[in-house]
Amino acid sequence: MPTINERKEIYNVHLKKIKVDKQKTRDEYAAKMAALTPGFSGADIANVCNEGAIIAARTDAKSVSLKNFEDATERVIGGIEKKIPMTKEEKATVAYHEAGHAITGWFLEHASPLLKITVIPRSKGSLGFAQYLPQEMNLYTKEALLDMIHVALGGRVAEEIFFGKVTTGAGDDIKKVTQIANSLVTVYGMTDNLGLVAYNGGEESGLRAYSDATLYEIDMETKRIVDECYANVKNLLTEKKHLIEALAEELLEKESINLPQIINIIGERPFPMKESLREYLTELTDRERQAEELKVKE
């Protein structure tokens, strides 16, 4: 995928066709969006620019704003908003599930910073999702991979803590967790029990270069990692139960919460904030303050 500088160049190409508002130059918009869309392909970037223009046109705006591009980014990630009939209990489950993911990542050092949470269903199948700003890294430590597992399990754990039962909403999370845990064991040699041996070779041809006993060990080691991570997350979320509840109830009321609102509810993240995220937070805060001032004048 393109690096941040390559994404900026791609944004500059697509923004030439778009009239952006005068708050920033095209180059400044390109730099800002490049920082906020790590992992996006060239096609994704083109979609963000096109969707941003469409969103602005629907409101009869004369130019495209940063808010339009942010909404477009959500559409590219999750799809367009979709009206799905949901019971009050289902909506509450989704809100607490997403809050569980959010709180887990907020208090883990190697988790990606959180940007926004929403419980608005999307056309790509999600009933809600949390948008993060992942680090652009070529190499991941064991700690970073384990924190990915922790965050993915946060929704399932929150359901168990608050409702005493779990739903099918964690299906994709469990699939992701299993893949990461299995890779820790079979690809990256990051477990003491099986050591520095790659156990995934030859599977493309349908052959397996190890015994049934080793396969059993791999299964048990993968399960051990997931079980330990689940226990860690349950301890963390039990301790932070009041923050999950506060975040989920705000989600149920507003449906979408951005970074300044998240910080107001649960406080600053206890880890250093990277500069691009700090600048973005300042912009969001200024924008919200201007919106409040406009409401007061009206």
* Catalytic residue of the set 70, 98, 221, 250: 98
SS3 state of residue 56? helix
Task: For residue 209, give both structure tokens.
Answer: 């270069």
Per DSSP, what are the bridge partners of residue 118?
129, 256
Task: For residue 94, give both structure tokens.
Answer: 């989704």
98 carries an active-site annotation: yes
Helix-helix angle 212-239:142-163, to 10 degrees: 60
Task: For residue 201, give both structure tokens.
Answer: 């070779």
The H or E element containing residue 174 is helix 171-186
> 70: exposed, middle or buried (C-beta count within 10 Å: 0-12, 13-18, 19+)?
buried
> 41: exposed, middle or buried (C-beta count within 10 Å: 0-12, 13-18, 19+)?
middle
**DSSP 8-state class, residue 273:** P
Rounded to whole angstroms, how far apart are CA atoms 262 and 18? 32
SS3 state of residue 118? strand
Rounded to whole angstroms, how far apart are CA atoms 296 and 298? 5
Residues annotated as catalytic are 98
